[in-house]
Structure 1
Amino acid sequence: MIESMVLIILGGLIGLGFAALVVGPIGNAMDLKATVSLGVAMGSIAFSEAIGIIFGLLPTNKASKLDPIEALRYD
Structure 2
Amino acid sequence: MTLDPSADILSKALKKLEHKISIHTAMKSGFSSLYGYTNDEGGIRHALLEDAAKVDEADALFMLGACAAFVSYVLNKARSTGLI
Q: Do both share a fold (TM > 0.5)?
A: no
Q: Give the structure-2-normalised TM-score.
A: 0.39
Please identify which structure carries the higher helix content.
1
Q: Give the structure-1-normalised TM-score.
A: 0.43
Highest Rg: 1 or 2? 1
**Higher relative contact order, chain-length normalized (CA < 8 Å, sep 6+):** 1
